[in-house]
Amino acid sequence: MNMRNELFAKWVAAMKEVKFPVLTVDEVFSGLPKGSDSNISVGGLVVCNTGDLFSRFIKPTDFPIESAEALATLILDRAGL
């Protein structure tokens, strides 16, 4: 599995408790086990913190976001992955 696919799968799984559609980033954080302090790992290495990731790649004008898949795709596209 390549990095994009692995990150996509992990993010979608991590957001299983998020109630989509969401209108704010805080609604996403409220459904994550550690909120904005959650970390994303690939191959056992932490590659980013969710709070940092969202502040870099998600804009207020992106909302509403309809699904975990749409959010993961948006982040990955903006990150160039």
Positive/negative CA dihedral, 43, 69, 28, 75: positive
Which are the contacts of 75, defined by CB distance < 8 A and separation ≥ 6? 11, 53, 54, 57, 58
Angle at 18 between CA 38 and CA 52, to 5 degrees: 30
What is the pLDDT, as a whole number, of residue 65?
Answer: 97
What is the pLDDT, as a whole number, of residue 47?
Answer: 67
Domain range list for the chain: 3-78
Q: Is the pTM of this model over 0.85?
A: no
- Walk along the chain (81 residues) and give the pLDDT tens digit of each residue: 688 898 899 889 888 999 999 999 899 888 877 766 777 776 776 666 677 778 888 999 999 999 999 999 999 999 888
**Which CA distances in Å does 3 have to 7, 25, 81?**
6, 24, 8
CATH topology classification for 3-78: Recoverin; domain 1 (1.10.238)
What are 48's strand-pairing partners? 40
